[in-house]
Amino acid sequence: MAKKILMAHGAGGKLSAQLLQEVILPAFDNEILRELHDGAKLGQLAMTTDSYVVRPIFFRGGDIGKLSVCGTINDLAVTGATPKFLSVGIILEEGFDLDALKKIVGSMAAAAREAGVKIVTGDTKVVGRGQADGIFINTAGIGELIDGVNISPRNVRTGMKILLSGFIGDHATTILAGRHGLELPENICSDCAPLNELIDEMLAAEPKIAMLRDATRGGLSAVLNEIAQAAGVGILLDEEKIPVRDEVRGVCDILGFDVLELANEGKIVAVVPAESAEKILSVMRRNVYGRHAALIGEVVTNSAGKVGLRTSIGGVRIVDMPTGELVPRIC
């Protein structure tokens, strides 16, 4: 392992996993933490926390405030909980524009209202110029676990289907465009959104959904590799069924990115019983945040811990855990 922290340690790929396994988890090891989900299950409650350092702080489709609230709401929802309360910690750099701060906290309030969540406590600190890149935000959340629901990689079984709630790569592409002054069509914007209502509807249709994750840092590739490794199963995807906008695919081709590794902030991956897949898919498509949902693959017996992609030309390639920085400061 590198002796110094690199940007890639925060990218959600192999170095992030190595940092967790070799430094963080040994220090804090306990039976709750070992679940390694997006939130911790505490009796009938779920808890999660996340910090947001995105650059730029304003982007098409959202800003750091909306991102911080939606991200924590989604992390709670994918544990099988109904999000209830959030805390907010804000670190401001001296000289930060007050009107920009008002816009950011307004975005946070609007996202919380949409999700039916209350922001109930918080903290604000100010540091010197050049010490915080404008603004950093931490949000933590508490939710109530839904009776009869048990979201865990231990429930993933061979034959289950993989569902995805819509187009991937929009958020990372939007951040790249904002960062480098690239022109994008109007239909490309961050997918940042609170997904708790969509997830509630999915779980109401099928409480035995095995696994839910939001495909943020490291994208679809990282999330599915984590599920495959935790469950000890293989996952096979169908490239032609994965929703990707042509414009996003074009940006990836030009800049050399793999769209499966690009971060999303409003996309759910679900591992569901095969017999319920079409019913759940129908429910997802009736929600504004799932109208482009698709069945993209299945759990298989061979290649345990690996993710494969059946390509458009009929071959199969391995989808590995992302390496390197990808797009840093994406959330």
For the stretch 59-118, pLDDT in tens is 999 999 999 999 999 999 999 999 999 999 999 999 999 999 999 999 999 999 999 999
Strand residues in the chain grouped as ranges (E): 40-42, 45-52, 58-59, 62-63, 81-93, 118-127, 135-145, 161-164, 211-214, 234-238, 268-272, 294-300, 307-310, 316-318
Q: What percent of the chain has pLDDT over 70?
A: 98
User: Residue range 259-273: average pLDDT?
Assistant: 97
Reading the block at residue 300, the tokens are 């298989």
- 205-260: pLDDT as tens digits: 999 999 999 999 999 999 999 999 999 999 999 999 999 999 999 988 888 899 99
User: Residue range 20-27: average pLDDT?
Assistant: 92
User: Residue range 126-136: average pLDDT?
Assistant: 96
Give the model's pLDDT for residue 298. Answer: 98
Q: How confident is the model at residue 182 (pLDDT cuts 50, 70, 90)?
A: confident
In this predicted structure, the answer to whether residue 325 has a pLDDT above a threshold of 70 is no
In this predicted structure, the answer to whether residue 11 has a pLDDT above a threshold of 80 is no
Query: Which residues contact residue 253 at a Cβ distance below 8 angstroms, ignoring those fewer than 6 apart?
Result: none
In this predicted structure, the answer to whether residue 175 has a pLDDT above a threshold of 70 is yes
User: Residue range 256-269: average pLDDT?
Assistant: 95
DSSP-derived secondary structure letter, 166: S
Query: Which residues contact residue 26 at a Cβ distance below 8 angstroms, ignoring those fewer than 6 apart?
Result: none
Q: How confident is the model at residue 8 (pLDDT cuts 50, 70, 90)?
A: confident
Reading the block at residue 232, the tokens are 């000890």
User: Residue range 267-274: average pLDDT?
Assistant: 98
Dist. CA 153–CA 11, nearest whole Å: 22
Pick the CATH number of 153-318 from 3.10.105.10, 3.40.50.300, 2.70.98.40, 3.90.650.10: 3.90.650.10
CATH number of the structural domain 31-145: 3.30.1330.10
User: Residue range 298-308: average pLDDT?
Assistant: 96
Give the model's pLDDT for residue 221. Answer: 96
Mean pLDDT of the chain: 94
- Domain spans in the chain, listed from the N-terminal domain onward: 31-145, 153-318
In this predicted structure, the answer to whether residue 1 has a pLDDT above a threshold of 70 is no
- 307-316: pLDDT as tens digits: 999 998 889 9
